[in-house]
A and B are shown apart, each in its own frame.
Chain A
Amino acid sequence: MSETYRQFLRASQLPHVWCPGCGNGTIVKAFLQAVEDLKLEQDRVVVVSGIGCSGRTPFVLDFNTMHTTHGRAVAFATGVKLANQGLHVIVIMGDGDASAIGGNHFIHACRRNIDLTALIFNNGIYGLTGGQLAPTTPTGKRSTTSLAGNIEPPFDIVRLALGAGAGFVARTTSFDHKQMTSLIRRAIQYKGFSVVDIMTSCPTYFGRMNDVAEPYDMVHYLRDTTSPMQDCTCRKSEHSCETDHEHEHAEQLAEELGVELSPTGVFREEARTDYGTLYMRKLEAAVAARNGRGGAS
């Protein structure tokens, strides 16, 4: 890692707990680069995580950090942000955190549109507990609780976020550092709830269970199962639009090519008024009304 980011790391907490070949360190680098690019004030950055391998991220980051309970990171972050809207609040969740135990909190955060950035470290398996089935494990793939292959269809976190109404939704991979950094940067800049589904590698569990045990092969697996797509051109024009058609297009393309590829890129970036701004408006009106009527306690 470049010297540039040492200021953002807690030397006392290194080395981190992640396995050799894990993609999480690469995501951390992209995140720190985005923080550096955006010149965020270090004291005002808050990183909130849940439980799992991704949950260990805040330990090594020299920001205000909060390692919470399984699935609830986004609910804790909601409290932090609303109590002090001057903070930059980043939520780091695993795929199990966000789409299994914390699924309810996640969809409501998408709907509510508080100015938070959710980075989902999606390795398609439960890593910290030893390789069990996740709601994101692709059908047919093996885990320690689906040795004969997964018979369930997986959640597509991008579609989940789009369906639940998030204003900024993107997908990237820990393989594509450039795209990953750019998308994390855009997500942080977005005023409202932003989601970046980051496909990351877990050679230790997902890999060993599914014949991609070598970290090098696992990175190639990420590359070979995804397909970068162009940003919606409509985003650059005056009118706003839902960009799901791009998603559809990428999926159609994947179908034509006969490959089950996950499209990566930005799926939606819509200008909307975030919850915090709406709440402040409501608050100002309520305070004014109260002062107007003489303000009994």
Chain B
Amino acid sequence: MSTSTKRPQRLIQGNEACAHGALYAGCNFYAGYPITPSSEVMEILSTEMPARGRTFIQMEDEIASISAIIGGAWGGGKALTATSGPGFSLMQEGIGYAAITETPCVIVNCQRWGPSTGQPTKGAQGDVMQAIWGTHGDHPVIVLTASNVRDAFEMTVKAFNFAEEHRVPVILLLDEVLAHMRENIDWPEPGEIPVVDRARPASAKGFKPFENNTFLPFGAGARFHVTGLAHNADGFTVGDEAAARELRRMVGKVQSKVRELAMFDRLRLDDATLGIISYGITSRPAAAAVEILRSEGIRAGLLDLKTLWPFPDHLVREVADRVDRIVVPELNMGQMVREITRSVGGRCEVQPCTRIDGHLLTPAQIVEAAKATLAADGSPGQRPIGCGTCCSERTVHS
């Protein structure tokens, strides 16, 4: 199976891949607070960061952690924190501050089951909407996810790249299963994955901190003001139409880049009549389900979304225009299915397929959900299943 020219591989865990992806991306500032199932990211960086001359600090809670990485970014660092649900909830305040101050930083959320303490050692995909909308007020944010260990490495690098290029907080959603799952991955060589650093202004003189995506840290020759209040390009308080204009600019700078930010994989969609749209860990059983359905004569295909926000409408509509039905498997009570339903806009039927007992959806369950949407002759059926929880006999949650 292997040859002498085979590139270096390592058997590592999702959280290890995330930590090493951060090191690869040049992350030089980490502040965090331990929480299951994300703690390995922090444990690894606690030794690897100082060994590379970089900064690591364990803070007193998650609010302090997000605050410290934002301060670290304005001190000149490429900054990261990693957490899980309860900690992610606490970080919402700081995520809003990072958004309005256009601070490049990365927040990794290893999702676990349920609200509150829930089940710390069970995987879920329940934080998708919180990642997008968790902090108060309209705001810009980019949300990425990963479906395998190599992805966890690469998406961490991409998260930094997007944060740096667009000056925006980037949230990377992992989950407990991926975080602790081990896979053999091709170890990226230096330079194999591009690494982007924030753009500097041509001159510190006359630098306006919120004019565009160029960035200067404190102490680099310009003196300026940073505030969470509505502000102009100089960083000073504004209101009324000026505040509206600034907010539109901030949100618009992410939304207008939806096509270039959209990362995804496609599997056998060319001739598909049944589409599965999934993301994160669920894309693994979904890919297996495609093969099972194909072996039974049902032309299934998969769109695996790696960028969840800004929402890639164009990718979803492309699938919707081609298939009769879309199945959306996810480990929650139906979150992305709503966004997909909106995006599809009636072009075809959309079926949720959910599981919330802390275990992964199996390929067989996704196959079953897909088949239940079809009549015996393989045409769109009259017997749609719901998510089995809140909407068992309906196609979409109400």
Q: A residues near B, CB below 8 A?
A: 10, 12-13, 42-44, 46, 48, 58-59, 62-69, 72, 75-84, 86-87, 104-105, 108, 279, 282-283, 286-287, 289-290, 297
Which residues on A sit within 8 Å (CB–CB) of B228? 67-69
Asked whether, in the complex, the Cβ of B64 is within 8 Å of the Cβ of A105, the reply is: yes
Which residues on B sit within 8 Å (CB–CB) of A79? 29, 31, 67-75, 77, 79
Which residues on B sit within 8 Å (CB–CB) of A83? 29, 55, 71-77, 79, 217
> How many Å lie between the Cα of A12 and that of B93 in the bound state?
29
Closest 8 A/B residue pairs (Cβ): A79-B71, A83-B75, A75-B67, A79-B72, A79-B68, A76-B71, A64-B218, A75-B64
Tell me if B63 counts as interface (CB < 8 A to partner A).
yes
> How many Å lie between the Cα of A81 and that of B67 in the bound state?
12
Closest to B220 in A: A43
Asked whether, in the complex, the Cβ of A67 is within 8 Å of the Cβ of B224, the reply is: no
Asked whether, in the complex, the Cβ of A84 is within 8 Å of the Cβ of B52, the reply is: no
Asked whether, in the complex, the Cβ of A81 is within 8 Å of the Cβ of B51, the reply is: no
Closest to A77 in B: B71
Contact of B53 among A58, A105, A287 (CB under 8 A): A287
Asked whether, in the complex, the Cβ of B59 is within 8 Å of the Cβ of A78, the reply is: yes
22 A/B residue pairs, CB under 8 Å, sorted by A: A46-B218, A63-B223, A64-B218, A64-B219, A64-B224, A65-B225, A67-B225, A67-B227, A68-B67, A72-B63, A75-B59, A78-B64, A79-B72, A80-B74, A81-B71, A82-B57, A83-B73, A84-B219, A86-B219, A105-B64, A283-B50, A287-B53
Asked whether, in the complex, the Cβ of A80 is within 8 Å of the Cβ of B218, the reply is: yes
Which residues on A sit within 8 Å (CB–CB) of B225? 10, 58-59, 65-67
Which residues on B sit within 8 Å (CB–CB) of A63? 223
Which residues on B sit within 8 Å (CB–CB) of A58? 225
> How many Å lie between the Cα of A82 and that of B71 in the bound state?
9
Asked whether, in the complex, the Cβ of A290 is within 8 Å of the Cβ of B51, the reply is: yes
Asked whether, in the complex, the Cβ of A66 is within 8 Å of the Cβ of B226, the reply is: yes
Asked whether, in the complex, the Cβ of A87 is within 8 Å of the Cβ of B29, the reply is: no
Q: B residues near A, CB below 8 A?
A: 23-24, 29, 31, 47, 50-53, 55, 57, 59-61, 63-65, 67-77, 79, 93-94, 97, 190, 217-219, 221, 223-229, 236-237
Closest to B237 in A: A59
> How many Å lie between the Cα of A67 and that of B67 in the bound state?
12
> How many Å lie between the Cα of A58 and that of B218 in the bound state?
14
Which residues on A sit within 8 Å (CB–CB) of B57? 78, 82, 279
Contact of B75 among A65, A87, A287, A297 (CB under 8 A): A87
Asked whether, in the complex, the Cβ of B68 is within 8 Å of the Cβ of A75, the reply is: yes
Asked whether, in the complex, the Cβ of B71 is within 8 Å of the Cβ of A87, the reply is: no
Interface class of chain B by DSSP: mixed
Which residues on B sit within 8 Å (CB–CB) of A77? 71
- Distance between B150 CB and nearest chain A CB, rounded to angstroms: 16
- Distance between A155 CB and nearest chain B CB, rounded to angstroms: 18
Asked whether, in the complex, the Cβ of B52 is within 8 Å of the Cβ of A65, the reply is: no
Using A87-B218, A105-B60, A297-B190 as known contacts, list a sample of 4 further A-B pairs with CB atoms less than 8 Å apart, ordered by residue number in A: A43-B223, A82-B55, A83-B76, A104-B60
- Distance between B287 CB and nearest chain A CB, rounded to angstroms: 30
Contact of A87 among B52, B65, B93, B219 (CB under 8 A): B219
Asked whether, in the complex, the Cβ of A72 is within 8 Å of the Cβ of B51, the reply is: no
> How many Å lie between the Cα of A45 and that of B198 in the bound state?
23
Which residues on A sit within 8 Å (CB–CB) of B223? 42-43, 62-65
Asked whether, in the complex, the Cβ of B97 is within 8 Å of the Cβ of A68, the reply is: yes
> How many Å lie between the Cα of A13 and that of B74 in the bound state?
22
Contact of A67 among B24, B76, B229 (CB under 8 A): B229
Closest to A84 in B: B75
Which residues on B sit within 8 Å (CB–CB) of A289? 51
Asked whether, in the complex, the Cβ of B71 is within 8 Å of the Cβ of A48, the reply is: yes
> How many Å lie between the Cα of A48 and that of B61 in the bound state?
19
Which residues on B sit within 8 Å (CB–CB) of A68? 67, 70, 97, 228
Contact of A286 among B47, B68, B75, B226 (CB under 8 A): B47
Asked whether, in the complex, the Cβ of A84 is within 8 Å of the Cβ of B29, the reply is: no
- Distance between A251 CB and nearest chain B CB, rounded to angstroms: 30
> How many Å lie between the Cα of A64 and that of B217 in the bound state?
9
Known interface pairs A64-B223, A67-B228, A279-B55. Does A84 touch B218 (Cβ–Cβ under 8 Å)? yes
Contact of B93 among A43, A69, A82, A283 (CB under 8 A): A69
> How many Å lie between the Cα of A12 and that of B190 in the bound state?
48
Closest to A12 in B: B236
> How many Å lie between the Cα of A13 and that of B229 in the bound state?
15
Closest to B47 in A: A286
Which residues on B sit within 8 Å (CB–CB) of A81? 71, 75
Asked whether, in the complex, the Cβ of A287 is within 8 Å of the Cβ of B51, the reply is: yes
Which residues on B sit within 8 Å (CB–CB) of A108? 59-60, 64
Asked whether, in the complex, the Cβ of B71 is within 8 Å of the Cβ of A283, the reply is: no
- Distance between B234 CB and nearest chain A CB, rounded to angstroms: 8
Which residues on A sit within 8 Å (CB–CB) of B47? 286
